[in-house]
Structure 1
Amino acid sequence: MCAYQEAGGTDMKTKNQSPRPALPRTPMTVERGVALIEALVALLIMAFGMVALAGIQSTMRRGSDQALQRGEALRLAQGEMETLRDYSVLSAEAAASGPAGTRAYAGVVSAAASSAGGNTDFSVTRSVADWADPVVGQEQQQAGLREVRVRVQWQDRAGNEQFVMLDSFIARADPALGASLGLPASTSATRRPAERSVSIPVAAKDLGNGTSVFVPSPTATVAWVFNNMTGVITGRCTVAMGTLNSSLTAADVAGCSNNTVGYLLSGVVKFSSAARPDPAQPGGTAWPLDVGIVNSTLNGAISAPVHQCFDDAPTSAANTMAFVSFNCFVEPNNGTPRIWSGRLELSGLNLGGGADAKKVCRYSADYDGNGSVSNSEHPENYNAVSGSLSRQNFLVINATASCPAGAAINPENGVFVNNSTVQQQPR
């Protein structure tokens, strides 16, 4: 038998079946390895991030370390500075004779030390020098002011040198004077008004323009104008005798302001007739006298300056005055700084012989303990005075008595004023 086949040549078994479409052939090599590259890129990015994070952590640790070390260094520097300030006596001898651990101002000197703290060692160095005034170019040894620099140095974690430094001044002030802060306010004439130099007399009237005016005596025909900040006399005016300080105004002295330069020299004279005078409470009455400045007896000192002194001394010995006040205008030279030298003396007293012979003692001592009597401490001869001086006091006693030695300041025994005296006249 012959098989039947249509003209298209299609097998009868497949006549009713649709042809299957051919699938495109994609090369396998195109996709092969893409996932591996993506993984490697991600790993590389993460590696960079980890390295950056490690660097940040290292920087943070170093910064934290430096902050810790800097704080410790600052603590050491501040502690060293406060230790230097924590003195209770002035001289090394007083410290040696005091309780263990007593510190003296004399111990404020240059030194070096070391200290361990945290994860490093610190080197502590202090430099101490007497302060030199940049204005006048003179060491302020009389004022007892020292310039202190404390430097703390160390090495950080990276081996770099680091340091902190503190600068300050330490004044030579007797800590015993701090006891006076516990005393009630005084109403005596020794108080000075605020906002003015302490050398300006308390009776001077503040004119409200940075100056004060003062008539030095009830019989004076002159008024002095002071600079409130410096205490320097910058003007001399003529006034009628008996003019009161309270009656003067800025307009009254406007025409004579800034017509001179002068320094005030002021104080009181006390009196005692006792065989053993008490310098704290002399108890005597005033004698007629005059105050003046004469040539200094120091070798090479300049001549006595031009001056004008006023006092309120009585005209006779029959009076009830306990003391005499005096005020002197002293004209310095024209140098830089402007200075004067001389010797302050009392006249009009019997300093020779006889029953009424007198002796003049001056209240004077090395109050600040620097080993010398400075101009402000009332020396026998003033030398190179460059400012106003107050509290230059005297004690007049009988010639047969001796100038009392007085007592040094001793707050524990209630002594807050040094009343030591030294003979001034006759020489």
Structure 2
Amino acid sequence: MNKRPNPPSHRPARQPRGVALLEALLALLIMAFGMLALAGLQNSMRRSADLAKQRGEAVRLAQQEMEWLRSFSLATPPVNADPNVLAFDDILARTLNTDAGSNTNFTVVRTIDSPLDLLETQRKDIRVSVTWTDRSEGAQIVTLDSILSRSPPSLGVALGLAPDATPVRRPGGRDGAIPLNAKDLGDKSSVFRPSPSTATVWVFNNLTGVITGVCNLPNTPVADISPIDIEACRDNALGFLLSGFVRFSAASPSDPGKPVGTALPMNLELLRSDEPTLLPSYQCFHDAPYSLPSTQTFVAYYCIVYPKISTSTLWSGRLNIVDIPLSGPSAKTICRYSADYDGDNKIGNAEHPADYVSVGAALSRQNFLVIPSGEQCPSGHAVDPSQGWFSNTATEPHQTASP
């Protein structure tokens, strides 16, 4: 008996399960690279944050050093000075190792450069560098540069003080002490020849009235001088103008407002009470007559005074008129126009004192009156527009007859 064969079974094929070894290794490799990259990123961020913190600390140290240098209160330290008081002359180069409480040590290096040029001795070029080593043993540096001036720190207070007088318009848009007939070169400077008989030409800073150059231009009229002509001598000097007029009176009593008399041959002498750096310490020009008789009624004078550069840009001294006899039959008495013009109960340098003290600016209208010997210097009068008096004519004795 034949049996019917069993029909073939149609079981579905078994699907593969799990992850092949190669795929697992590849995934592990990718994950490892990712973890390494993440670890590297974290390390880089930590290093960058640490470097940023160190750089900020270095900048703070450099600024602290710079601000300490700016806190000087004196130009020159006095004898037996307080060690806690910083003077300008005390600012010297130094190296300082500091521990700022960080994970590294900082080295602060201060470098000082004092220019040797005549006009630049009143400043110091300062560089403060802070160096350190970061986590990766790399050398790092932060540098700050600045310039310190010898100017007295007390001048900063003047910015908060109201002016004593109403502001007035400057003649020609420049300092009022610059002579009116000085030529403006249009580059914030002016040129002036102090005497028609000299080849000397002075260069003024229009803003400050300081003489910044002394030139020798014998064949060039002032009206024809250009900026190119003074280029080589524009900044070769530092001096202050001292100028005024000398009037003469032969009448008795003398009228200081309208003196009547003719000019005499004379010269000027500046007796310095400080120790000037340059010799000669001054140079004066005038237009006094060489001989008598003369029809000239007054003498105009202009002096350049060189300050004491070594410690400050100031000068002190006394201006006298010489070669006019103070004794004998033709003796004269020399008075100076001087009064407390600004009402501050003292005679300042601009008000023509007998002796100038610590002058640091140009002085003009320092006028004299020469009267016969034996007369008292006229008291004159103050300004009084109601009586037609528009100038103060008070005078004080300056050089009297010798006993």
Bucket of the pairwise TM-score, normalised by the shorter protein: 0.5 to 0.7
Q: Which residue of 1 aligns with 2:347?
A: 373
Q: Which residue of 2 aligns with 1:418?
A: 392
Q: Which residue of 2 aligns with 1:235?
A: 213
Verify the 8 A CA contact 2:275 2:308 in the aligned structure 1.
no
Of 332, 336, 353, 2:328 maps to 353
Matched, 1:327 2:302: yes
- Matched positions, count: 250
Verify the 8 A CA contact 1:136 1:337 in the aligned structure 2.
no
Give, as a single letter, the amino acid of the residue that structure 2 aligns with 1:360: I
Residues 362-420 of structure 1 deviation map (CA, whole Å, 9 limit, x = unaligned): 00011111111000000000010001100000001111211100001122222221110
Q: Which residue of 2 aligns with 1:289?
A: 266
Matched, 1:269 2:261: no
Verify the 8 A CA contact 2:210 2:239 in the aligned structure 1.
yes
Verify the 8 A CA contact 1:268 1:394 in the aligned structure 2.
yes
In the superposition, relative to structure 1, how do residues 319 and 393 fare at CA in structure 2: closer, same or farther (>3 Å)? same
In the superposition, relative to structure 1, how do residues 220 and 328 fare at CA in structure 2: closer, same or farther (>3 Å)? same
Gaps of at least 5 residues in structure 1 are 1-133, 148-168, 182-190
Of 141, 149, 170, 2:162 maps to 170
Of 343, 357, 381, 2:318 maps to 343
Q: Which residue of 1 aligns with 2:174?
A: 196
Given the two structures, how large is their TM-score scaled by the length of structure 1? 0.55
Q: Superposition pairs for residues 6-405 of structure 1, below 5 Å?
A: 136-138=152-154, 147=160, 169-173=161-165, 193-240=171-218, 243-296=220-273, 301-302=274-275, 306-335=281-310, 337-354=312-329, 356-405=330-379
- Which of 1 and 2 has greater Rg? 1
Cα distance, 1:344 vs. partner? 0.3
CA distance in 1, matches of 2:309, 2:207: 21
Give, as a single letter, the amino acid of the residue that structure 2 aligns with 1:420: A
CA distance in 1, matches of 2:389, 2:247: 19
Given the two structures, how large is their TM-score scaled by the length of structure 2? 0.58
Secondary structure at the counterpart of residue 241 of structure 2: strand
CA distance in 2, matches of 1:227, 1:146: 22
CA distance in 2, matches of 1:140, 1:361: 37
What's the % identity of the aligned pairs? 44
Gaps of at least 5 residues in structure 2 are 1-149
Residues 54-105 of structure 1 deviation map (CA, whole Å, 9 limit, x = unaligned): xxxxxxxxxxxxxxxxxxxxxxxxxxxxxxxxxxxxxxxxxxxxxxxxxxxx
Verify the 8 A CA contact 1:276 1:401 in the aligned structure 2.
yes
Q: Which residue of 1 aligns with 2:70?
A: none
Residues 196-229 of structure 1 deviation map (CA, whole Å, 9 limit, x = unaligned): 1111111111111111011100111211100010
Verify the 8 A CA contact 1:214 1:225 in the aligned structure 2.
yes
CA distance in 2, matches of 1:220, 1:368: 36
